[in-house]
Chain A
Amino acid sequence: MASGMQEKQYTPSLLSFFVYNPTFGPREGEEEKKILFYHPSDVEKNEKIRNVGLCEAIVQFTRTFCPTKPAKSLHTQKNRQFFFEPEDNFWIVMVVRNPMIEKPNKDGKPPTVEYQEEEILDTVYGAVVRECYSMYKLFNGTFGRAMEAGGVELLIQKLEKFFYRYLQTLHLQSCDLLDVFGGISFFPLDKMTYLKIQSFVNRVEESLDLIKYTAFLYNDQLIWSGLEQDDMRILYKYLTTSLFPRHSEPELAGRDSPLRPEVAGNLLHYGRFLTGPTNLKDPEAKFRFPKIFVSTDDGYEELHLIVYKVRQTSVELTRDFCEQLDGLVGPQLTLLASDICEQFTINRRISGPDKEPQFKFIYFNHMNLAEKSTIHMRKTASVCLTSVHPDLMKILGDINCDFARVDEDEEIIVKAMTDYWVVGKKSDQRELYVILNQKNANLIEVNEEVKRLCATQFNNIFFLD
């Protein structure tokens, strides 16, 4: 066959994304009022109205069967739609085109398109939609808040401003199980260094009143969060997938080691701000920090996000002012960073050299959102690389769906097509997925292997065999 006649594979992609509120245009002829945001914006008005109307109808219709749990997704041959109602009557809908294979035909006939309807997972993309909303809320507060402040106009404005940029950063082709978890990677640290960090954070917060909460990260991994878990989860996502990569990509250009070796830098180079002014000495510098919204006992509070970085360590400080902070935090943090860096090197020496990890696994704990993956390479703003085939990732996703269905502890072992074994274990609130590549292994051997992994990696937690 000629080279030009090869099959062409298309990954899932975003077809459309819209936000509507059915109560804003209940009467006929006013349907357009319901639509608060529509991507792509160049779609013809009537088509927008038709699509929104269809979603409304499906949700309404399915509600009759189960009033508490309306439909979450709609599967069609060409695409899949995800419905999410984050606030009363506000709906977010994301339409994803199914992956497809284009098979060229002879004799100049148009190519045959084969849609792979079952390749994408509801859980994964459902999580993506929810995350879109959380991210919006982090920077803008709730929809309701915008409505109170400036009515529909303001809300439309805010949605436009936020999602226009945000949707460009969605990479639907590389979404997987980790998006379902939305976990946080914690940096392993000994007690003493951890206490020193505590002490540092407390001192900073004590001497600078304006600081409300502090989070402490090293190497994209969380060490301390003063924010509540849910807020930290989305902030962590923002920092590690958007803010940090944007700032470190130039530094790390050409490197893509999954272990992210520490950047050799001298300690005299203190920290810098990742949000706000880039150079404090610059008299023209603008002291503006992004606002974020976090939950409190009674509603939400509005804060400023200040990210300050020394080498791989970052501290997020909220609320505004700077030089004082720079003077106080800079030197101390530099010192701490070198302490932690030492630990990091020790950890690495223990875990062995940079070679491929022995086990490919993903671990997640629902209780503290701790996640650990030896499958995923360095996350950048643009891609999230995995070291295994998407088919295997799909199996992981499927197992996760099975786990979600029941409360009990379970274990699932799957033999994949390509000599791989995939093992999923669920114990209490923890999930572990292991991918083994042992050609002629049998079930018993695979089971033994996983036991061995648990004994080495998870011996300090209660994880049932």
Chain B
Amino acid sequence: MGEEHYLELCESPVQFEHASNVNNVFFDEANKQVFAVRSGGATGVVVKGPEDKSSVAFRMDDKGEVKCIKFSIGNKILAVQRTSKSVDFINFIPDYPHTEFTQECKTKNASVLGFCWTNWNEIVFITDQGIEFYQVFPDKRSLKLLKSQSINVNWYQYCPETAVILLSTTVQGNILQPFAFRNGTMSKMSKFEIELPVVPKPAKLSLSERDIAMATMEGACKKSHVLKLNTTGKFALNIVDNLVVVHHQSSQTSLIFDIKLKDPDCAVNTHQPVLPARSIHPYRIPLSGVGDRSVKLPPTVNLLQDKGKLMDFLLRRRDCKMVILSVCSQILEGGEKGSLPVVATVFDKLNQVYKEYLEAEQTYTVAMESGPSRGSAAQKRPVRTQAVIDQSDMYTHVLSSFTERKGVSHKFIIAVLMEYIRSLNQFQITVQHYLYELVIKTLVQHNLFYMLHQFLQYHVLSDSKPLACLLLSLESTYPPAHQLSLDMLKRLSTANDEIVEVLLSKQQVLGALRFIRSVGGHDNVSARKFLDAAQQTGDQMLFYTVFRSFQQRNQRLRGSPNFNPGEHCEEHVVHFKQLFGDQALMKPSTV
């Protein structure tokens, strides 16, 4: 039985010749490039990046053992460190002189620990006595010191995304000093201390760079979080998709922590691994490989039993939509006993996120409409992440197929639909018509008309013209649907024409006439429509009444009982004369 792996390397890892005494391998975290330097560069340097474009091969003179080698951003300038005093540069810009040039560090007796490119032409040297920030002029083949800072440094780490360098200072090395770089400026950030589990005596370096990992994570996490590893040994940290991944070297497994997932059993900020430890999906690598790790979501689904927690976990992941939807389908498919509360919890969690997005969207719309002048901070359009699962997602991917599945009890189907509608209502999200349609379709399929009636009676299915029309169409199988439909049209108060049509189609001509009069629309209705309906009933007295009523209207509106030619009532006048004679027609009043 294959173990399920939830971590894997990206699909195309960078492959390179393995390190040997003639082949030195370097990895540049900033550009994600691997440098394979053969014989100090004399027999070739092969640079491979995550994309083919960033791969370069060249040769350089062997001037001693290479300690560190990195391209500036965009592969413009190559920096090579061979001694502890200086760094050499080679231009990779076409038409610029290719001869190497050298920069020694300014601080006397300092040795260079390493360097970091912070821009295409800006570089920081980190020495054991401080940092030096330079601008490189490739055309002049020289560097200019922009800024420097004296500070004792044990080791450093660089975070390329934010261009922050973290320096380890003091004897124990546990005071960390970050510096941020941007557009030629260097700013010192406030330092902080890492608590040591044991303070050694006499003091010695107790925190190494292997103990620290820098990463950018969404949202502000002010205080550090404690991750319970429950094991000892060497660890490496990685951040993937806002998850902290801790790789345990000796057991060759990785633990995943979601620092936003609150565990009620633990004190605040203490985290247990979300998932059981698993190794990274084995990948057959012919030579040696380095790659971006990514979290594979589908296997996590089976490893996390608590579906509510699973949703919390999934909702914070990048490519979560389809996984979430399939989890929903899975829960419904299982049809295990007692799954309704789980279904309810899951729906509530999804709708919470959905509602937050809708609200943000609305705030944005309102802000845009009120004009950009107001509110100094420019409103940003809210980003719709994959975690926003709306009604149409739910309908298309989960509910519509669920309701058609064979072998599921209709009771459960209806319960699930009602649960979804309840959840939407709870978050005050307007329910879309197609969900109501689904409910009605399911109820009608199973002859549960009384249930439908009760839902409508309590306005669980909100009023709308389409819904009223749908009800009308059910009248032949369930006669009370007619009344339900009319009530709904009445409540809408914008559907007076529809009500008249419904009544006329039922040959309730007088009812229609009374209704249109009660809402004050009598003066504008088409006489022809009413006369047609009255004539069709075959009830002569009814025809007489309706005819006279319109004659009176004509009299009142135009001072004459006659119909206008535009009203096309000629045939009705003829019919009236045939039935009751000329003299029965209302004569123009002679007042």
Do A and B come together as binding partners?
Answer: yes
- Chain A positions near chain B (C-beta within 8 angstroms): 186, 189, 191-192, 194-196, 198-199, 202-203, 205-207, 224-226, 228-229, 232, 297, 365, 367-368, 370, 409, 428-430, 460-462, 464-465
Contact residue among A202, A224, A368, A461 (Cβ-Cβ distance under 8 Å from B490) = A461
Nearest CB in chain B to that of A430: its residue: B483
Interface string of B329-350 (1 = CB under 8 A from A): 0000000011111001000000
Interface string of B471-495 (1 = CB under 8 A from A): 0000000011011101101110000
**Docked-complex contact A206 and B459, CB < 8 angstroms:** no
**Which chain A residues lie closer than 8 Å to B411 at the CB level?**
202, 205-206
Measured between C-beta atoms, what is the minimum distance from A193 to chain B in Å? 9
Measured between C-beta atoms, what is the minimum distance from A135 to chain B in Å? 20
| A195-B421 contact given A224-B454, A429-B480, CB 8 Å threshold | yes
**Docked-complex contact A189 and B490, CB < 8 angstroms:** no
**Docked-complex contact A199 and B419, CB < 8 angstroms:** yes
**Docked-complex contact A195 and B425, CB < 8 angstroms:** yes
**Which chain B residues lie closer than 8 Å to A189 at the CB level?**
458
**Which chain A residues lie closer than 8 Å to B415 at the CB level?**
202-203, 205-206
Contact residue among B450, B479, B487 (Cβ-Cβ distance under 8 Å from A225) = B450
| A207-B337 contact given A199-B419, A225-B454, A367-B483, CB 8 Å threshold | yes
A205, A225, A229, A464 pick with most chain B CB within 10 angstroms: A464
**Docked-complex contact B460 and A191, CB < 8 angstroms:** yes
Measured between C-beta atoms, what is the minimum distance from A226 to chain B in Å? 7
Within 8 A of A (CB), among B294-338: 337-338
- B518 within 8 Å of A (CB atoms): yes
Nearest CB in chain A to that of B456: its residue: A368
**Which chain A residues lie closer than 8 Å to B344 at the CB level?**
199
28 sample A-B contacts, Cβ–Cβ < 8 Å, listed by A number: A191-B459, A192-B425, A195-B425, A198-B460, A199-B419, A203-B415, A206-B338, A206-B339, A206-B340, A207-B340, A224-B454, A225-B450, A365-B483, A367-B479, A367-B480, A367-B484, A368-B453, A368-B454, A368-B480, A429-B480, A430-B483, A460-B490, A462-B483, A462-B489, A462-B490, A464-B515, A464-B518, A465-B518
**9 interchain residue pairs of minimum CB distance:** A202-B415, A195-B422, A367-B480, A462-B486, A462-B490, A194-B458, A461-B487, A465-B518, A462-B487
State A206–B336 Cα separation when bound (angstroms): 10
Chain A interface, DSSP helix/strand/loop, else mixed: mixed
**Docked-complex contact A229 and B450, CB < 8 angstroms:** yes
**Which chain B residues lie closer than 8 Å to A368 at the CB level?**
453-454, 457, 480
Q: How large is the interface on B (under 10, 10 to 19, 20 to 34, 35 or more residues)?
A: 35 or more
**Docked-complex contact A464 and B450, CB < 8 angstroms:** no
**In the complex, number of A-B residue pairs with CB atoms less than 8 Å apart:** 91
State A311–B498 Cα separation when bound (angstroms): 45
State A225–B515 Cα separation when bound (angstroms): 34
**Which chain A residues lie closer than 8 Å to B511 at the CB level?**
409, 464
**Which chain A residues lie closer than 8 Å to B341 at the CB level?**
203
Contact residue among A196, A297, A460, A464 (Cβ-Cβ distance under 8 Å from B487) = A460
Measured between C-beta atoms, what is the minimum distance from A349 to chain B in Å? 21
Given A191-B460, A205-B411, A428-B482, 6 more A-B residue pairs with CB atoms under 8 Å apart are A191-B425, A195-B460, A225-B450, A368-B480, A409-B511, A464-B518
- B514 within 8 Å of A (CB atoms): yes
**Which chain A residues lie closer than 8 Å to B414 at the CB level?**
202
Interface string of B341-361 (1 = CB under 8 A from A): 100100000000000000000
- B96 within 8 Å of A (CB atoms): no
Measured between C-beta atoms, what is the minimum distance from B375 to chain A in Å? 34
State A115–B457 Cα separation when bound (angstroms): 46
- B435 within 8 Å of A (CB atoms): no
**Docked-complex contact B491 and A460, CB < 8 angstroms:** yes
**Which chain A residues lie closer than 8 Å to B454 at the CB level?**
224-225, 368
- Chain B positions near chain A (C-beta within 8 angstroms): 337-341, 344, 411-412, 414-415, 418-419, 421-422, 425-426, 447, 450-451, 453-454, 457-460, 479-480, 482-484, 486-487, 489-491, 499, 508, 511, 514-515, 518
**Which chain A residues lie closer than 8 Å to B338 at the CB level?**
206-207
**Which chain A residues lie closer than 8 Å to B489 at the CB level?**
462
State A191–B462 Cα separation when bound (angstroms): 9
**Which chain B residues lie closer than 8 Å to A192 at the CB level?**
422, 425-426
Measured between C-beta atoms, what is the minimum distance from B273 to chain A in Å? 32
Measured between C-beta atoms, what is the minimum distance from A350 to chain B in Å? 17
**Docked-complex contact A191 and B490, CB < 8 angstroms:** no
State A191–B422 Cα separation when bound (angstroms): 9
State A109–B486 Cα separation when bound (angstroms): 65
Measured between C-beta atoms, what is the minimum distance from A203 to chain B in Å? 5
**Docked-complex contact A228 and B450, CB < 8 angstroms:** yes
**Docked-complex contact A226 and B518, CB < 8 angstroms:** no
State A461–B457 Cα separation when bound (angstroms): 10
**Docked-complex contact A429 and B483, CB < 8 angstroms:** yes
**Which chain A residues lie closer than 8 Å to B425 at the CB level?**
191-192, 195
State A365–B486 Cα separation when bound (angstroms): 14
State A297–B454 Cα separation when bound (angstroms): 20
**Which chain B residues lie closer than 8 Å to A461 at the CB level?**
487, 490
Measured between C-beta atoms, what is the minimum distance from A212 to chain B in Å? 10
Measured between C-beta atoms, what is the minimum distance from A22 to chain B in Å? 36
Measured between C-beta atoms, what is the minimum distance from A165 to chain B in Å? 30
State A228–B454 Cα separation when bound (angstroms): 11
State A225–B451 Cα separation when bound (angstroms): 8
**Which chain A residues lie closer than 8 Å to B450 at the CB level?**
225, 228-229, 232
B426, B454, B479 pick with most chain A CB within 10 angstroms: B454
**Docked-complex contact B460 and A462, CB < 8 angstroms:** no
Measured between C-beta atoms, what is the minimum distance from A311 to chain B in Å? 21
**Docked-complex contact A194 and B487, CB < 8 angstroms:** no
State A418–B341 Cα separation when bound (angstroms): 60
Nearest CB in chain B to that of A222: its residue: B454
**Which chain B residues lie closer than 8 Å to A229 at the CB level?**
450
**Which chain B residues lie closer than 8 Å to A228 at the CB level?**
450
State A229–B344 Cα separation when bound (angstroms): 29
| A191-B412 contact given A203-B340, A368-B453, A409-B511, CB 8 Å threshold | no
Nearest CB in chain A to that of B415: its residue: A202
Nearest CB in chain B to that of A427: its residue: B511
Measured between C-beta atoms, what is the minimum distance from B513 to chain A in Å? 10
| A186-B457 contact given A206-B340, A465-B514, CB 8 Å threshold | yes
